[in-house]
Amino acid sequence: MLAYTSSGSWRPPGSGLPLGVIQFDREAARALNQVPFHLDPRVLARVPESSAWLPRLDAPDRGIIAWADKALRDRIAYLAIQLANRRSEVIEIRGRTK
C-alpha cells in the first residue's frame, strides 16, 4: 500500500493542510534523501510487488532511498488513524486487490 506524494506545492497555496496530510520542508525532506514534498494519506494505492511498479526492486537495496525513523512512522500512523476515524469517506484506495 502506497500513499500519494508530490513535490509540488500544496493546492490551493496558502490554505491549511487537510487532516492527515504531512508537509516535509527542506530539512525534513533532506533527512529522507528527498526534495520538499507532501504525503497525502487520503489517496492510497495497492500496487503489486513487481519491477513494473518498483523498478529497482531487484537491486541490492530494493530501491529503498531512506527509512522513516520510529517517530515519523508513528506520526504517519497516528494521522492516518485520525483521518480514518474522522473522515474515512475521503480516503480513496486505487489499484487492484490482487
Cα separations in angstroms, 59 against 34, 62, 65, 79? 19, 5, 12, 32
Q: Where are the domains of the chain?
A: 2-95
Whole-structure pTM value? 0.76
Do residues 42 and 20 make contact, with C-beta atoms less than 8 angstroms apart?
A: yes
Q: How many CB atoms lie within 10 A of CB 43?
A: 16
When pLDDT is averaged across residues 30-54 and rounded to a whole number, the result is 88
Mean pLDDT for the chain? Answer: 86
| pLDDT band (50, 70, 90) for residue 13 | low
| pLDDT band (50, 70, 90) for residue 95 | confident
Cα separations in angstroms, 83 against 6, 14, 35, 38, 86? 19, 21, 25, 16, 5
**Residue 33 pLDDT > 80:** yes
Instruction: Please report, rounded to a whole number, the percentage of residues in the chain having pLDDT higher than 70.
Output: 90
Q: How many whole angstroms separate alpha carbon 15 and alpha carbon 25? A: 16
